Structure 1
Amino acid sequence: MRPRLLCALGVALALAGCGGEQRPAAGAARALPPVSVTTVEVRARDFPVVLHTTGTVTPLSSVDVKAQVASVVTKVHVHEGQFVRAGELLFTLDARADQANLEKAQAQLARDLATLDDAKRQLARSRDLLAQGFVAQGAVDTAQAGVEAQQAAVQADRAAIAAERVNLSYTRITAPGAGRIGAISVFPGTTVAPGGPALLSITQLDPIAVAFSLPQRHLGDALAALQGGGAAVEAALPGAAPQRGRLSFVDNAVDAGSGTVRVKAVFDNRGARLWPGAYVDVSLTARTLAGAIVLPQATIVQTARGPQVFVVEQGKAHPRAIAVVYAEGADAAVTGLKPGERVVLDGRQNLRDGSAVVERRDAAAAASAPLPAQ
């Protein structure tokens, strides 16, 4: 009884196996439907490398004006916040003592000139008497020495007059350069001295500079841009339109603590929109990647093996590894693709290698396409 039962069970299993081989799988009977995707064309164009940082508005010159002689302020010719030109009169100091010293030196010069004329006449008479044999050569030499000594005295008088005129000029304080006046700390009647505080400060506002720092890895780009006439730089106050300037300075050392290098850019500031000490957002075009392969960043898929994109070829999508050279805004410059190839923008999350795709036109392409003729 047991052998018959085992035999019947074996026959049943064999028949079941044959029947399973003849029945096709449901998945193999029908192919997967194509995936609807949006694609964009890879393009080659010049791609600027733009660095973003923050900077501080810095004047090209800011001068503290101080008195050079001890005196008393007699008149203030300017007011706070005024724009002045170079050489414009700022203050007048009490000049009576310096004027008197100048007149004294001039009087001394006049007296020494008269003495010099007399010494020259004495020398001439001594030479005549020597020719007639009435005096010895020593008398002529003495007269000659007197003339030379008096000439030296006259020269010293003229130097003293020049010095007194310099001291007198210090009583008229003028602007060393053009700019805007800050707070004025003195008034008529104030005693001033060379070692005292500044009377006022003059800050140049146009043109003006913006100082900022760049990472050490961009030092070569900054130096190359500086030699080429200065790279384009944009500076913008919060909520304001950016202003354009040019790179003008790269420091001679890298800060070892931060690993950055200090640079400056110069801007036209006729409207005084940039104010010293203000913080601004800075954009520096360090260099331009000529003929770069550019595509939207949204097409790039980050994987464990690195970035890749899906390239559509003959109706099928295939992954391709790429290398991102530089990314800015919505675009990225990459390697590993050719101009004209089409990559998947939307729908890439449903793709596998070899997936069939149906391309849709993206909204931007549809909007830019010409309308059909009516």
Structure 2
Amino acid sequence: MLAADFTESVRRRADGLIVRWRGLGLRTRLVTGGIGAALLVGLIAWAGGAGAPALDGLGGAVPVVMGTVEKRPTPVFLDGIGTVQPSNTVQVRARVDGEVIEIAFKEGDTVKAGDVLARIDPRPLEANLKQMLANLARDKSQLADARGNLNRLVSIGEFAARKTVDNQRALVAQYEALVAADEAQVDYARTQLDYTVIRSPIDGRTGLRSVDVGNIVHAADTNPLVTVSQISPVSVVFSLNADHLPEIIDGMAAGALPVSAFAKDNKTLLAEGSLDLVDNQIDQTTGTVKLKASFSNADNRLWPGQFVNARLRVSIYEGLSVAATAIQQGPNGAYLWTVDGEGRAAMRSVVVNRLQDGRALITSSLPAGQKIVLDGQYKLQPGALTEAAAPQPEAPVAGSSQPNS
């Protein structure tokens, strides 16, 4: 309440008391005027003392917490929840039937491509290979004999019947086909024999094995012997609102976009990586799009199946920024309180582009370094005199723990 309004209210109360006194027979103007004046002076004195609230403009400067408008490069981030996925995952299965005679790895081992994981009894397949080699040798011998007979018939010339020569040529072709089939059978038998040694197809880390030595495995088994996952490098798949696609695509056009992976507390940084791709379609049920980022993960802090908070940096904002607490909302939009060189407060409209990490990125004609009010705005009126006050410390939340510095 302004001082003039408050004084007028006191005067009206005094006049009311005078009228009541007149009704009681106090008609002496001198006495009435003296009592009324004394009462008015007393009420005004009471209003200016500890019994009434201080009046803006009369009670001194309004204490407020001040800050400044800053202009500095500010990273613009987009946050999403993601899942860690291995770069490659292979379910290692047996490709031939037989008894497992060796397990050559320990669960959780890091293996290289080509490392032996298990061995299957090779003896039945070795015997089959020998049989195929014997068939090949037999048919080669028959082919050599047929070719020799054909050469002798051809050397005789006109003395050999044409039909006999043609029959011999057909026999040679038949044995050539048999030899080619035998060679294919030998190659197949060798391949089957190679399958008795089970090797890792990729670099990665082994999981839990499902068989032990002595078990019979089959090529038709659905359960793998072991799963090998490549976790260095590793990928994180996360989702963002599809409305952000234009700025993501613009950012990718300027170069690789960095991505940070944080733990569930959104404070512990786990790894730094880069964006690989944006999915080629939007999920219409959620209005989101999936993105995939890769991380070297040399220290194995990211693990397949782990939930992380992914933070994508899409650009660097070069404009003005203020503390988010400075922004107020009015009927005409966002505004803030500025403080001039004399300590007088004024309202200034601003456009808030984004709120991020306790900062408001704004568009305004305010100069960098302009003093603004961060706290205590509810006490202000345009033109009010202000004074700087220390910010109030935040009360600790019960049951919470402070992070280590």
TM-score by length of structure 2 reads 0.76
The match for 2:201 among 176, 186, 192 is 176
Work out which of the residue numbers 292, 295, 300 in structure 1 matches 2:327.
Answer: 300
Name the counterpart of 2:339.
Answer: 312
Give secondary structure in 2 for the equivalent of 1:150.
helix
Tell me by how many angstroms 1:228 deviates. 4.4
On the 8 A contact 1:293/1:337 being kept in 2, the answer is no
> Which of 311, 324, 328 in structure 2 is aligned with 1:283?
311
Cα distance in 2 between the residues matched to 1:307 and 1:264: 36
* C-alpha distance in structure 2 between counterparts of 1:156 and 1:146, whole Å: 15
Q: 2:156 — aligned with what?
A: 129
Cα distance in 2, alignment partners of residues 256 and 304 from structure 1? 35
Among candidates 227, 247, 260, match of residue 234 of structure 1: 260
Alignment of 1:34-73 (within 5 A): 34-35=61-62, 37=64, 39-73=66-100
Match of 2:294 among 266, 269, 291: 266
> Which residue of structure 2 lines up, in the alignment, with residue 91 of structure 1?
118
Q: 1:361 to 1:337 in 2, by over 3 A?
A: farther
Given the alignment, which residue of 106, 110, 116 partners 2:137?
A: 110
Q: What is the match of residue 367 of structure 1?
A: none
The 2-side partners of 1:220 and 1:31 are apart by: 51
- What is the CA distance between 1:357 and its match in structure 2? 4.2
Aligned to 1:198: 224
Native 8 Å contact 2:70 2:321 kept in 1: yes
Residue number in structure 1 paired with 2:399: none
Contact 1:74 1:92 in 2 (8 A): yes
CA distance in 2, matches of 1:31, 1:98: 102
CA distance in 2 between counterparts of 1:271 and 1:31 reads 63
User: 1: CA distance between counterparts of 2:341 and 2:209?
Assistant: 78
Distance in 2 between residues matched to 1:175 and 1:308, nearest whole Å: 63
Partners of 1:226 and 1:166 lie apart in 2 by 47
* Inter-partner Cα distance in structure 2 for 1:60 and 1:250: 16
Find the partner of 2:249 among 205, 223, 229: 223
Calculate the aligned-residue CA RMSD, in Å: 2.6
Superposed displacement of residue 334, structure 1:
0.6
CA distance in 1, matches of 2:352, 2:127: 79
What amino acid maps onto 2:319 in structure 1? A
Quote the residue 2:236 is aligned against. 210
Shift of 1:333: 0.7
The total of aligned residue pairs comes to 334
Q: Note the 1:294-373 alignment, pairs <5 A.
A: 294-313=321-340, 315=342, 316-340=344-368, 341-357=370-386, 360=388
Q: Using the TM superposition, give the Cα deviation of residue 57 of structure 1 relative to its aligned residue in structure 2, in angstroms.
A: 1.5
1:136 alignment partner AA? A
The Cα of 1:31 is off from its aligned counterpart by 6.5
**SS in structure 2 at match of 1:129:** helix
Q: CA deviation at 1:174?
A: 0.6
Identify the match of residue 257 of structure 1 among 263, 269, 285.
285
Structural mapping, 1:118-157, within 5 Å = 118-130=145-157, 133-157=158-182
Per-residue Cα deviation, 1:293-329 (whole angstroms, up to 9, x for no partner): 1111122222233221122345332211111101112
Aligned-residue offset at 1:35: 4.1
Q: Give the 3-state SS of the residue equivalent to 2:281 in structure 1.
A: strand
Partner in structure 2 of residue 4 of structure 1: none
Tell me by how many angstroms 1:188 deviates: 1.5
Report the alpha carbon displacement of residue 105 of structure 1 after superposing the two structures with TM. 1.1
Distance 1:123 1:227, change over 3 A: farther
> Which fold has the larger relative contact order, with Cα–Cα distance below 8 Å and residues 6 or more apart in sequence?
1
Identity of aligned residues (%): 33
SS of 2:191's equivalent in the other structure is helix
Contact 1:63 1:201 in 2 (8 A): yes
The structure carrying a bigger strand percent of its residues is 1
Q: Distance in 1 between matches of 2:363 and 2:302?
A: 40
* Distance of 1:329 and 1:255 partners within structure 2: 28
Q: Are 1:226 and 1:249, in contact at CA under 8 Å, matched by a contact in 2?
A: no
SS class of match (2:182) = helix
- For 2:364 and 2:270, locate their aligned partners in 1 and report how far apart those are by CA, in whole Å: 35
- Distance apart, 1:180 and its partner CA: 1.1
Counterpart for residue 247 of structure 1: 275
Q: 1:114–1:333: structure 2 CA closer, same or farther, 3 Å change rule?
A: same
Shift of 1:342: 3.0
Q: Alpha-carbon deviation of 1:225? A: 3.7
The AA in structure 1 aligned to 2:351 is A
CA contact (8 A) 2:57 2:385 kept: no
CA contact (8 A) 2:232 2:297 kept: yes
Q: State the SS of the aligned residue for 2:160.
A: coil
Bigger shift: residues 307-316 or 62-71? 307-316
**Secondary structure, in 3 states, of the residue corresponding to 2:280?**
strand
Counterpart amino acid of residue 165 in structure 2: V
Task: Give yes or no for contact 2:82–2:307 (8 Å, CA) kept in 1.
Answer: yes
Amino acid at match of 2:123: R
Amino acid paired to 1:310: W
Paired with 2:220 and 2:325, the residues of 1 have a C-alpha distance of 65
Instruction: Report what 2:25 is aligned to.
Output: none
Q: Unpaired segments of 5 or more residues in structure 2?
A: 1-28, 34-43, 49-55, 392-405
